[in-house]
Structure 1
Amino acid sequence: MGELQRLPANSDPDTLAQVLRDDGAAIVENVLDPAALDQLKSEIMPYVEATEPGRDDFTGRHTTRTGALVARSPACRELVMNKLILGGANAFLDPFCERIQLHLTQLIRIRPGQGKQPLHRDRLAWGGFLQDSIEPQFNTIWAVTDFTEENGATQVVPGSSKWEAGREARPEEIRYAEMAAGSVLVYSGSVIHSGGANQADHDRMGLNITYALGWLRQEENQYLSCPPHIAKDFDPALRDLLGYCMGSYALGYFTPPTGPGENPEVVPPEFLFSGKVTDWSEGDDLYEKVSERACAGPV
């Protein structure tokens, strides 16, 4: 019977990626210290307290979901760029894309009285249109409070990422991602999971940060949640992750909507911030990478 593997915070990204390939999920323990958690909560709790609950059984009638956290929280930006997590995401998704992107940031607060969320796979955000051989997501839930079975710890079915379509989890196959605040549940877009029922007298809060293949539509529209006038002050690597970069050799350029001849006709997204057109050398690298994979055939 599958169990959730637990990894130390000093694990390397390749090890984390391999565990996800094998099991679909794992817990990385004690990544954040209490001071970092306090800073995160001080930045996001005003928004969390102002968030309305869900309006159906899936989003949770006693659950709040607060987004736009890259724009709102410097501490969240640091988590998005965490070396272990981002390195693991790149290693895990690399076979299926030229570049990954930030897919979602959301503080999920499960309040007392909330029942279990229906079990599901996050990859269904794109319907059933992706081939099963393509893994679209690398997901995290950072424990902002302790996660216990009583207060709604995430339900996970280890190994279900390899199941055939239509197979349902039996109760004895479900595990609970019980972990201390500051730990992180990492799981693939193909693993079966859901929010647990909160039977405690306090909230369970988890920060859901997910990454996806750079050629897919993002669940949280980062260009609207974190528009250019905010993103301009970020580190360029974070801007790239938000999607302000070329996703492939010919994916993501734009034409500045200005007068005739005022700007070049075709520019990469970075033009928004620099006002300059680079030599596209990185784009050439992406072109070579695309060409190599096209010649190699399906992965």
Structure 2
Amino acid sequence: MTDLSYFEPDTDHGEILQALRDDGACVIVGLMSADLQTRTKSELEGFIDATPDGRDDFTGRMTGRSGALIARSEACRELVMDRKIIDLANAFLEPYTDKIQLHLTQIIDIRPGQGAQPRHRDRLAWGGYLPDEIEPQFNTIWALTDFTEENGATRVVPGSVKWSHDRRATDAETVQASMPAGSVLLYSGSVIHGGGQNSSELNRTGVNITYCLGWLRTEENQFLSCPPAIAKQLDYDLQEMLGYTMGTYALGYYSDPDALGEVNDLRPPEFALGRPPRDKASSATLITD
């Protein structure tokens, strides 16, 4: 059994990326500042308390899940756009895409009495149709509480990124990503993992933020979770991470249904936010012909 690698925030990106490629997961200890932890908890507390338990064994019958974190939390916007995480995500997914995009944001609150989640690979969100050689995701879970073996620290099967899809993991091949609050678990879409059993009397609370290839459909519909009226207030980088930009040459344009007959009928998404694209090539492709 291989243990997970643990890194300090100033660790070279190459070392972290190699651990992700080899093991499928690793931990950066203490990447979130104490101030950001406090603000994140404060902004999310009401949603955590109000969210009911899950509906089935997979989502967790004693686990609360709540999304739309870009619209609901300024602190979570900082987590999404953390410079180190974005640099790592871009480098990890670069072989398969021109751009990355936000895949989902979700509070995961594993409550006392919750059993272990079935082990799975997140890439199955696309139904198993993606070729094995394409890695679709770069995922994070930020710890708002300590993650321990007792309270349900995420279970990971190191090295399972290289397994055939019909191989099943055993408990002996599984480790738990124990980490102090303020740390972040990084893991790929191909690694086998699952939430742990919470046999303690305390909640295990984390913020799940994941990124995917810019040409895939996202798990959380960001255009509904963070519609234009809210998105137009955000920094441009975050708007584009949400998908309010062209994915490639022809992915993502729209036509304004109330502007029939205008010359510029095929528009980049930025126009829905009241601005032109920063990428002049995207703008010229659609609105000048």
Distance 1:14 1:90 in 2: 13
Give yes or no for the alignment of 1:87 onto 2:87.
yes
Distance 2:15 2:232 in 1: 34
The match for 2:122 is 122
Distance 1:122 1:258 in 2: 39
Distance 1:277 1:169 in 2: 46
Residues 210 and 276 (structure 1), Cα distance of their counterparts in 2 relative to 1, 3 Å cut:
closer
1:128 Cα deviation after fit:
1.0
The match for 1:261 is 261
Residues 264 and 277 (structure 1), Cα distance of their counterparts in 2 relative to 1, 3 Å cut:
farther
Residue identity matched to 1:127: G
Give yes or no for the alignment of 1:73 onto 2:73.
yes
Mapping of residues 56-205 of structure 1, within 5 Å: 56-205=56-205
1:4 Cα deviation after fit:
0.2
Distance 2:177 2:194 in 1: 10
Residues 274 and 114 (structure 1), Cα distance of their counterparts in 2 relative to 1, 3 Å cut:
same
Residue identity matched to 2:93: L
Residues 276 and 283 in structure 2, CA contact (< 8 A), matched pair in contact too:
no
Residues 153 and 195 in structure 2, CA contact (< 8 A), matched pair in contact too:
yes
Residues 13 and 85 in structure 1, CA contact (< 8 A), matched pair in contact too:
no
Residues 277 and 103 (structure 1), Cα distance of their counterparts in 2 relative to 1, 3 Å cut:
closer
SS in 1 for 2:108: strand
Residues 160 and 283 (structure 1), Cα distance of their counterparts in 2 relative to 1, 3 Å cut:
farther
Count matched residues: 285
Distance 1:2 1:283 in 2: 49
The match for 2:27 is 27
- TM-score, normalised to structure 2, is 0.95
The match for 2:13 is 13
Distance 2:277 2:29 in 1: 43
Residues 65 and 108 in structure 2, CA contact (< 8 A), matched pair in contact too:
yes
Residues 71 and 58 (structure 1), Cα distance of their counterparts in 2 relative to 1, 3 Å cut:
same
1:171 Cα deviation after fit:
1.4
Deviates more, 1:11-20 or 1:227-236: 11-20
Which consecutive unaligned segments of at least 5 residues does structure 1 have? Answer: 286-299
Cα deviations across residues 135-156 of structure 1 (Å, max 9, x unaligned)?
A: 0000000010000000000000
SS in 1 for 2:207: strand
Residues 220 and 277 (structure 1), Cα distance of their counterparts in 2 relative to 1, 3 Å cut:
closer
SS in 2 for 1:270: helix
1:22 Cα deviation after fit:
1.5
1:169 Cα deviation after fit:
1.0
Which consecutive unaligned segments of at least 5 residues does structure 2 have? Answer: none
Distance 1:276 1:130 in 2: 33
The match for 2:41 is 41
Distance 1:283 1:187 in 2: 35
Structure 1 outlier segments of 4+, above 6 Å: none
Residue identity matched to 2:111: R
Distance 1:277 1:10 in 2: 33
Distance 1:267 1:160 in 2: 42
Distance 1:163 1:35 in 2: 40
Residue identity matched to 2:66: T
SS in 1 for 2:118: coil
Residues 57 and 117 in structure 2, CA contact (< 8 A), matched pair in contact too:
yes
Residues 12 and 84 in structure 1, CA contact (< 8 A), matched pair in contact too:
no
SS in 1 for 2:269: coil
Residues 150 and 229 (structure 1), Cα distance of their counterparts in 2 relative to 1, 3 Å cut:
same
Residue identity matched to 1:203: N
Give yes or no for the alignment of 1:235 onto 2:235.
yes
1:33 Cα deviation after fit:
2.6
Over the aligned positions, Cα root-mean-square deviation in angstroms equals 1.6
Over the matched positions of the two proteins, sequence identity in percent amounts to: 57
Residues 46 and 190 (structure 1), Cα distance of their counterparts in 2 relative to 1, 3 Å cut:
same
Residue identity matched to 2:138: F
Distance 1:194 1:284 in 2: 45
1:34 Cα deviation after fit:
2.3
Residues 101 and 242 in structure 1, CA contact (< 8 A), matched pair in contact too:
yes
